[in-house]
Structure 1
Amino acid sequence: FILAFTLNIYQTKIDRGDIFSARDYFYYGNELRENGHYEKAIESYNKNIALKSGWIEDKVYACINKADCYRFLGDLDNELKSLFQSFEYSKTPRPETCSRIGYNFQRKKEYIPAVFWYDIATKSEPDSNQWSFSYPAYYTWYPHLQMCVCYYNLGDFQKSYEHNEKAYDFRPKDERILHNKKLLEKKLGINQK
């Protein structure tokens, strides 16, 4: 209900002919995305990005959120382009972006580039001067869990196990990680406790 109400507020502003700021386009895009209006959200994010004004963090996340919209629409190529576009504003790779790039390749069964990007994510802790949100999962357990899956699919069970163990260090009660641990220990002949 609240999301639809917020969309109505933006629609009223549009109907009145209000001029949107870069921030308005960013938040309108977020509301559209949350309500499943992915094509319109992409348009709004592109308007945010096109304006010279606006907070740089909003532009980074406009690219990332736009990528999410493309993913929901099943357009993996434009998802990837949007993620790479975020580098124009962040200047250095962010864990959120690298993990998402890794997942894009992983879904296409391109495991070697997926591992490359997940590995970068594990080495890219957020900038302490970053004013926007930071999501520790993207540089801690998540890329290791995904590298476990990638290496498993590549047939390298030792590396798969090693990355699962790193994920386990962060989330020792995660059922997926515990399942992988048991499976890989059996496959590698490691004595289970």
Structure 2
Amino acid sequence: MNACIELSDCYAIKRDNENCLKALLQYFEIDVPRAEICCKIGHYYKVRNEFEKAIAWYSLAPYTIKPEESIGMIKPMYWDYVPYMEIVICYYKLGDIEKAVYYNEKVAQIKPNDEKMLSNRYLLAKMKMKK
């Protein structure tokens, strides 16, 4: 998994988008989906402003199986905090404030005092009041 992510990052630096995505998808030939890979693919689409595709990939992350042991490092935040926070951003960019609020509150359940979540809460509340 780490090799696929590193290779993808190298292609991203070279602005080789096609191979960047291929390197991430290559992981699925090796093993079952992992949250880190799903989030990385979500990020790939998010930076390209393809928010619906990004949301689809971020939404998969919490439902992937967290391995008990791994050769690579397991990053627990990729199973909840990271995908939910990224989904908040995607829905905000799409103008769907209600869904952004919903996912921001999922983040609040995970990290009640998180500065980003609290900032989002304030911003989203202001956006809702404008409607």
**Residue 126 of structure 1 aligns to a residue in which SS?**
coil
Q: Does 2:35 match 1:123?
A: no
Secondary structure at 2:40 match in 1: helix
Query: Which among 114, 133, 147 is matched to residue 87 of structure 2?
Result: 147
Q: Aligned partners of 1:122, 1:170: CA distance in 2, in Å?
A: 13
| d(CA) in 2 for partners of 1:98, 1:165 | 21
Which structure's relative contact order is higher, taking Cα pairs within 8 Å and 6+ residues apart? 2
TM-superposed CA distance for 1:69, in Å, is 1.5
Alignment counterpart, residue 78 of structure 2, candidates 113, 118, 138 = 138
Describe the superposition over 1:41-90 as per-residue Cα deviations: whole angstroms up to 9, x where unpaired. Answer: xxxxxxxxxxxxxxxxxxx3211211122223333322111000011111
Does 2:89 align with 1:188? no
How many residues align? The count is 129
Q: Contact 2:2–2:72 at 8 Å: present in 1 too?
A: no
The runs of 5 or more residues in structure 2 that have no matched partner are none
1:65 partnered with 2:2: no
Query: Which residues in structure 2 correspond to 1:170-181 (within 5 Å)?
Result: 170-181=110-121
2:25 maps to which residue?
Answer: 84
Cα deviation, 1:120-146, whole Å, max 9, x if unaligned, reads 012114122544321112111111011
- The answer to whether 1:109 aligns with 2:27 is no
What is the aligned counterpart of 2:98 among 151, 158, 162? 158
Matched, 1:169 2:104: no
2:39 to 85, 99, 118: 99
Q: Runs of 5+ in structure 1 lacking a partner?
A: 1-59
Quick one: distance in 2 between partners of 1:158 and 1:63? Answer: 35
Question: Alpha-carbon deviation of 1:188?
Answer: 2.4
CA gap of 1:109–1:133, structure 2 versus 1, over 3 A, is same
With 70-79 and 100-109 compared, the bigger mean Cα shift is at 70-79
* Larger gyration radius, structure 1 or structure 2: 1
Superposed CA RMSD: 1.5
Take 1:77 and 1:177, find their aligned partners in 2: how far apart are those partners?
33
Q: Percent identity between the aligned chains? A: 36
Distance 1:177 1:73, change over 3 A: farther
